Amino acid sequence: MDLIQQLEQEEIARLAKNIPDFAPGDTVIVSVNVVEGTRKRAQAYEGVVIARRNRGLNSNFIVRKISSGEGVERTFQLYSPLIASIEVKRRGDVRRAKLYYLRERSGKSARIKEKLPSRAAKAAAAE
């Protein structure tokens, strides 16, 4: 591990952000800290993760949602101080790492199947 990677790992450890395990296809709620004048509030942004870029401290992800019939995408830096929290609402069952094809789709064709927990996971949770 070179010096830059080591510094990035130390910075990630220093930030100590609680980031859940999520992947493309998952529906997430990202709480973003918004400053309006002197007031600071958390704004929720809910949508489907269509891409995730894992680059250490520079990791980011793109969330897509439909707002007033128009598709809206927003890129978030994973370790940004503006992100208050990330909550996984629903797991999606997809076979691609980048879901850019959802940009051309709307309605039922843009739906993503839900990933249901396996029987082994259910049995382990029951114990």
Q: Please, what are the domains in the chain?
A: 18-126 (2.30.30.790)
Residue 96 pLDDT = 93
* Tokens linked to 90: 């629903």
* pTM (two decimals): 0.87
35-59 average pLDDT score: 94
d(CA 20, CA 12): 15
Place of tokens 């130390």: 10
Share of residues in the chain with pLDDT > 90 (%)? 72
Each residue's pLDDT tens digit, 53-65 = 999 899 999 999 9
For 91-124, the DSSP string reads -B--S-S--GGGGS--GGGG---B-PPPHHHHHH
